[in-house]
């Protein structure tokens, strides 16, 4: 159980939370939700004592697993030891025992070693390595990497090791901030199974709607400067919350209509002989004053890609034996494919398998080492890079409005403001300098640029990385509705299921082109592995 007592957090003049009193109960799995910048990660850091709260007290169980983000803190430790460090009491006892065995044995040291062995036994230390190995293998880190130093393995696997560290040692509570960020689809499925069997208190922040819907028993939503809990998963919360908001707005409209009628009566008979009836209606007007509704955090951008001004030919892209590599060898090898007008394709695969390389070749930003890539007649591609800095100069004094207007040679200011409004850049936000944009704002601005320029082929590389849940849903709808061709690399199953009719899967045994949706491909892959 995790208890928050009167927690407040202010950053400058901005209030994230105000006197929050909340309990995360044992046996419940909470999704901590809210838009980018609402304070989800800050709250997790406050709970763990990593960041101070302005006021209030946090009560925690003795053993808490927390997903750390600084891989550099563990660069010189082995992968296996990094995981075992998740049980701090056990790790401290093991480290002290090893140190004492290097010293000359005395009665005092012997006594202390006996005490340490009791601690190690109490923490299941004699099975720690085998338990850590099971978690690592489940996360897709093979046994041959377990004794390597952290800095010797790929970055995405280092983050996976830190996730294993949080899960290790039977913690009574688990705090996970974006645990699926560096996982492939198989590892996400393994994690979902692990968390379904977890009996402690789970608090997770994730932009993966499918993941939250799969694991959550409750949603703790940060809104109105507090936390509101809803039973069920994310979709259930969204339905309940929007219905409650709609009812409150309808009640206010009804009150306003009644007040208008009462005011007409007061104005008509206020100076006449019906004084008692007038006073009664004045009191009724005071009683019926509409409830002030604070601005809700549910905001969804309006993402609709216009019908392209010029359609492409039937064959949009054709590759013949494409190969592309770097110093360590090819990441794309002998890949042949044909993409047709109107195809909606999801590109999936582990990090490091070449998804970005493939998309950059399709967008004309990289040249294959061998093979031929043919771009079809009339193809006009719009590219969304994983690294926003490739299209947004974060050192520029240019504003969001200036950048968007520069995307098209002839465009009216009101059209630019219209797109910015749909991308949630209201008021002065439209004139934010590019260096001041958050990751989510930068992503929405780039999407706005694609809406403005009307390409007939969209190429997205991990567009959901900085988007909140509602923006990802809006993007899935927009891509599905698009009257052109779309190729999107992502691990987000909700996004994939929202638009993809075909799959390009970069696997360890090569690249597979599947003419069907994701679930069909995964079932086929599962059947072949038996």
Q: What is the pLDDT of residues 30-59, one digit of tens each?
A: 999 887 777 888 888 888 888 888 888 989
Segment 103-118 mean pLDDT: 86
CATH code at position 373: 3.40.50.300
Residue 241 included in any domain = no
Domain identity same for 223 and 127: yes
In this structure, are 91 and 208 located in the same domain?
yes
State which residues form the domain around 276: 246-287
Based on the domain organization, do 272 and 352 belong to the same domain? no
250 and 232 both lie in a single domain: no
Under DSSP, is residue 299 helix (H, G, I), strand (E, B) or coil?
Answer: coil
Burial (CB count <10 Å: 0-12, 13-18, 19+), residue 421: middle
**How high is the pLDDT of residue 373?**
94
Domain membership of residue 309 (yes or no) is: no
Closest among 488, 447, 444, 450 to 466, alpha carbons compared: 444
In angstroms, the CA 291 to CA 252 distance is 7
Same domain (yes/no): 263, 342: no
Q: Report pLDDT for 106.
A: 84
pLDDT at 402: 93
Q: Which of 236, 260, 279 is the C-terminal boundary of a domain?
A: 236
Residue 297 lies in a domain: no
Separation CA 84–CA 99 (nearest Å)? 17
Residue 3: CB partners within 8 Å, gap ≥ 6? 22, 23, 24, 58, 59
- Residue 295 placed within a domain: no
Whether 187 and 167 share a structural domain: yes
CA-wise closest residue to 416 among 443, 448, 444: 448
- Rounded to whole angstroms, how far apart are CA atoms 321 and 479? 29
Tokens of 77: 């430790």
Give the number of other Cβ atoms within 10 Å of residue 141's Cβ.
24
pLDDT digits (tens, 9 = 90+) for 439-472: 889 999 999 999 999 999 999 999 987 888 888 9
Asked whether residue 190 falls in the same domain as residue 163, the answer is yes
61 and 204 together in one domain: yes
- Which of 191-205, 230-244, 405-419 shows the lowest mean pLDDT across its residues? 230-244
pLDDT for residue 440: 86
pTM score: 0.77
Mean pLDDT of 76-96: 90
Based on the fold, state whether residues 232 and 336 are members of the same structural domain.
no
Q: Which residue has the higher pLDDT, 12 or 360?
A: 360
For the chain, report the end-to-end CA distance as a whole number of angstroms: 41
For residue 211, being part of any structural domain is answered with: yes
Shared domain for 401 and 521, answered yes or no, is yes
Q: Which residues pair with 261 in a beta bridge?
A: none
**What are the structure tokens assigned to 83, written together?**
């995981």
| DSSP string computed for 5-72 | EEEEEEETTEEEEEEEEEEE-TT-EEEEE--TTSSHHHHHHHHHTSS--SEEEEE--S-EEE----GG
Q: What is the 3-state secondary structure (H, E, C) of 488-502?
A: EECCCHHHHHHHCCE
Looking at the structure of the chain, the number of domains it has is 3
Whether 36 maps to a domain, the answer reads yes
Phi, psi of 331 (to 5 degrees): -100, -25
Domain end call among 198, 214, 236 = 236
Residue 304 lies in a domain: no
Higher pLDDT, 21 or 395: 21
From 176, 205, 236, give the residue that closes a domain: 236
Residue 335 lies in a domain: yes
User: Is there a contact between 74 and 150 (Cβ–Cβ < 8 Å)?
Assistant: yes
Is it the case that residue 135 has pLDDT exceeding 60?
A: yes
- Position 338 scores a pLDDT of 94
Same-domain check for residues 185 and 278: no
pLDDT digits (tens, 9 = 90+) for 310-327: 999 999 999 999 999 887
Q: What is the DSSP letter of 426?
A: -
Q: Same domain, yes or no, for 82 and 48?
A: yes
Residue 8 has pLDDT above 80, yes or no: yes
pLDDT score of 530: 64
Measure the CA–CA gap between 417 and 107, rounded to whole angstroms. Answer: 79
């Amino acid at each position: 159980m995790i208890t928050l007592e009167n927690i407040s957090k202010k950053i400058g003049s901005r209030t994230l939370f105000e006197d929050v009193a909340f309990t995360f109960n044992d046996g419940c799995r909470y999704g901590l939700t809210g838009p980018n910048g609402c304070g989800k990660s800050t709250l997790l850091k406050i709970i763990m004592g990593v960041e101070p709260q302005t006021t209030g007290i946090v009560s925690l169980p003795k053993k808490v697993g927390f997903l750390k983000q600084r891989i550099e803190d563990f660069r010189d430790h082995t992968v296996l030891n990094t995981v075992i460090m998740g049980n701090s009491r056990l790790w401290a006892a093991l480290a002290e025992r090893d140190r004492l065995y290097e010293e000359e044995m005395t009665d005092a040291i012997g006594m202390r070693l006996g005490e340490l062995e009791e601690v190690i036994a109490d923490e299941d230390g004699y099975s720690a390595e085998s338990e850590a190995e099971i978690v690592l293998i489940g996360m897709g880190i093979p046994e041959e990497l377990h004794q390597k130093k952290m800095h010797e393995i790929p970055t995405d696997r280092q983050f996976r090791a830190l996730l294993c560290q949080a899960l290790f040692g039977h913690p009574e509570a688990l705090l996970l901030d974006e645990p699926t960020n560096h996982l492939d689809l198989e590892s996400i499925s393994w994690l979902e199974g692990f968390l379904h069997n977890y009996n402690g208190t789970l608090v997770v922040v994730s932009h993966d709607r499918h993941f939250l819907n799969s694991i959550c028993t409750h949603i703790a939503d940060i809104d109105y400067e507090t936390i509101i809990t809803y039973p069920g998963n994310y979709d259930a919360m969204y339905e309940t919350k929007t219905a409650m908001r709609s009812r409150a707005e309808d009640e206010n409209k009804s009150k306003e209509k009644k007040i208008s009628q009462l005011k007409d009566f007061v104005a008509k008979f206020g100076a006449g002989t019906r004084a008692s009836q007038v006073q009664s209606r004045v009191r009724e007007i005071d009683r019926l004053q509409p409830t002030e509704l604070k601005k809700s955090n549910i905001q969804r951008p309006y993402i609709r890609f216009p019908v392209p001004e010029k359609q492409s030919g039937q064959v949009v892209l054709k590759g013949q034996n494409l190969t592309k590599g770097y110093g360590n060898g090819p990441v794309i090898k002998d890949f042949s494919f044909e993409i047709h007008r109107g195809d909606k394709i999801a590109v999936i695969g582990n990090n490091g398998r070449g998804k970005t390389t493939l998309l950059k070749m399709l967008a004309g930003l990289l040249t294959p080492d061998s093979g031929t890539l043919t771009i079809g007649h009339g193809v006009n591609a719009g590219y969304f890079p994983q690294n926003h800095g490739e299209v947004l100069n974060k050192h520029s004094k240019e504003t969001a409005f200036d950048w968007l207007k520069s995307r098209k040679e002839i465009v009216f200011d009101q059209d630019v403001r219209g797109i910015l409004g749909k991308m949630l850049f209201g008021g002065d936000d439209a004139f934010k300098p590019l260096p001041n944009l958050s990751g989510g704002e930068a992503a929405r601005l780039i999407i706005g640029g694609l809406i403005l320029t009307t390409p007939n082929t969209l190429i997205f590389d991990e567009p959901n990385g900085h988007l909140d849940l509602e923006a990802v849903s809006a993007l899935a709808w927009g891509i599905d509705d698009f009257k052109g061709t779309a190729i999107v690399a992502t691990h987000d199953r909700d996004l994939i299921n929202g638009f993809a009719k075909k799959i390009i899967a970069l696997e360890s045994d090569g690249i597979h082109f599947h003419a069907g949706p994701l679930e069909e491909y995964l079932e086929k892959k599962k059947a072949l592995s038996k």
